[in-house]
Each structure stands twice: as structure tokens, then as C-alpha cells.
Structure 1
Amino acid sequence: MERNIAMKRVAKPEGKFNIVIEEVAMPEPGPGEVRVKAVRSLISRGSEMGGRYTREHAVNPESMGYSLAGIVDAIGEGVDHYAVGDKVVASAPHAQYAVRPAQVSSLQEQAQVVPMLPSVTFDQAPYYPLTSGAVSWVDIENIQPYDTVVILGQGLVGSLLMQVAKANGRGRIIAVDTLDSRCTLSEELGADVVINASDEDPIRAVHKITNGVGAHIV
């Protein structure tokens, strides 16, 4: 008799803060897909707390999570650029296993599976989607040496934006937040100026710092 293999994943049935771990059938990769065994899964506090956990309605389990780092443990037909055992990052929910397309079908589509560089750890890898987004934002803004850039909020996304902007080596980077811990971390990570909006009006502070010019990019 064939035994049904199951896995666990995070789910959000109806009810505010009704978060459960449910057991479901193990997904199998189809043609052009890979299955990834999760090692680390990234928690997106803002998206998950504000957009999922606090809602009364049920949430699709595919939306419960952000990205994960893991190991390819099965491949579908036609996949020749990944092999079992490869370390990858995948845009996927909180689950023990996830099946994702192995490649994009158009230039407009974002890759859902990306190989991990040898120097990147499983702890670091899940940040790839957010970090790549921060890099794209900085590239699009084309920050100039004379620009003053203000980044409002120093949570995960804001902090990554600040760090990438600093690494870009152009402009004066001002970080703004209301939490002492985030302001301290922003200073440690290299922000040129940190404004604690709990202590002072950030708009007035920016105008004072820039001699009335204000920010070029926010």
C-alpha cells in the first residue's frame, strides 16, 4: 500500500491572528519546475502582520511568507540547469517544501528560483528578493553626488535601501525612524544623518540640514 507523504506549512484560516501549522500533501514538481526543501524562511513583519495575520478572512497559504533559502530535492521534466542538491533562493511561502518554475517565461517576469552564491549563507540568502529590489530602486533613481536622499522608515526594507544607497557612493543619505533601536542601527550601518522622528520634526530637520533646500529624493 502506497504511503501518502505529507509536509507542514503555515496557514491562516478565518479569524484574526488565527495562525496554524497544517499538514498537507507533498507537492510534486511538474515539467519545468523544481521542488525546494526549505532551510530558512524570511518573515516579512509588515506584510504578514498588517496584511495577513490581522485580517478576519482566510489567506491563501501561497501568500503566507516571502522568500526562502533551501536545497533542490526534486526536478521536473525538462529542467537541465538545476540538479538535486543545488542551493537556491525561492520566492515561496512558509513551508517545508515549495515547488516553483525553474526559469522565467518572459523578460518581464521575475525569476522565482535563483542559485545561491558559494559565499552566501542560508541565513543571508532569503534577503535576496528585497535586496535586489533595493538595488533596482537605487539604479532607477540615479542618485547624483549632490543629492540629499531621505529614506523614511528603517525597518527591513528601509534599512536595505539605505545600505544600498550608501554602497552606491553618491549623495547624502538621511535615515528617518521613530524607534531608538532602528536609529542606532542606521548609524552603525553607515547613514550619513539619522533623524529620530519621535524627538524632532523630520521635515524641519531635513530643511535645517540642507540649509532650506530640502530633499532631492524621498
Structure 2
Amino acid sequence: MELIYVIEDDDNIRDLIKIALEGFGYEVSAFEMAEDALRHIESDQPALAVFDLMLPGMDGLTAIRRIRKNESLKDIPILILTAKDREFDKVAGLDGGADDYMTKPFGVMELAARIRSLLRRSTRDQAESNELNQYCLNLNKKTREVHCDGMKVELTLKEFELLQYLMENHNKVVTRDELLNHIWGYDYDGETRTLDMHIRTLRQKLGENGGSCIKTVRGVGYRFIKTEE
């Protein structure tokens, strides 16, 4: 069950939203003040937050900006629900970090529809951020699975990490020292045969199409590029 934060100082409106969203199958934590919500939001990690702007104490826009500056919270979808209906206020709210803006009076059906839309978008963005798609290769960082031309490729942890780093830096020359420091986690001043052996095995496992994307830059390192380049 997805957790929704509701920050609204009007008791009647707060209760209305809470009851309505619970009726749509969401878990709801409701707060009168932004400070109370901010004390719990990092540990709760709600799926979405609904903010009024005019709140006692810290105003809603200030709270939203604080959330967007927090690395662990910055991707939480935020919907502003407020009586402020001027274009200036809407622009300020959206530029301040909100993903959507609704004005009062409002209908609970529309509110629920907007929440569903934001949650769908958030889920899609998260899925896309977990995947790297380059040419014939698909790498999923969350499941640690790799597919080449639609076929699953079994890789060791180090092979997976090597491929991920090269794909994330596609078209860039990555030095051997950079790869050793990033994958093995230490400054390496000896031979690079360990790295070269892993690259050779990785190429073999990826087959002709996938393996040929990993190019050797003589005397420097490797580059992940299109096969035809």
C-alpha cells in the first residue's frame, strides 16, 4: 500500500483528503504543519506528498524546496493543493519543486486522478533510471541482469560492474587506472593483467555484437562505442 503525505492546516480539508485517499486504497499520514512532516518524511519515504502553501510556521513552498535539496527525498512526487490561484503562484510553486498544482475548491476524484498520474510517472522514471540501454545491450542495475540481443548473459559481479561503468561512460575513453580504482577500489600501480583478463572474458560472454562494443584504446584503456564505429 502506497503511503501519501498530506500537509494541510485546515482540519476539515485535511480529514476530507485523508478519508478520500484511504477510500482509494492509499495509506495516508496527515500533518497540520510542515515541520512535523519534515521530521518524519526521510524515515517514512512516502510515495507522494500533497502540500498546502499557506501553513502555520514554515510555508509549504519553503518545505518543498528543502525536500528537493535532500538527496534521499528529491525524487518524491509533490502536488500543491492551495487556494492561491494566481498564475504567479502556480509558476512559483512549479519552479519551486512541485510536480503538479491544484487550486481550491477541488474535487476528490480529480485529486485522486492527478495522484495516480504522478505515481505512474514516478514509477516509470525509476524503472528507466535503473536501466542502461546501449545498442544491443540492456543492463538493469537493480536486478543486476544483462541482456544482449534479448538473450540473458550471466556475468560475475566484477564483470557486471565493469560493463555498467563502461556503458555509463559510453563514447568516452576510460583509463585502466580509473577502472581499477572504481571497480576494485584501490590505487593500482602494478600490472593491469587482472583488468585485461576480465575485459577479455566479458567480451566473450557478450558475444560478437555486444563484445565488439568494448574497444581497446592502446596504451590508455577502453571505450564503449557503437559496433560500427
* Fold conserved between structures, TM > 0.5: no
Structure with higher strand content: 1
* Structure ranking higher on relative contact order (CA contacts 8 Å, 6+ apart): 1
Query: What is the TM-score of this pair, normalised by structure 2?
Result: 0.28
Higher helix share: 2
Instruction: Give the TM-score taking structure 1 as reference length.
Output: 0.29
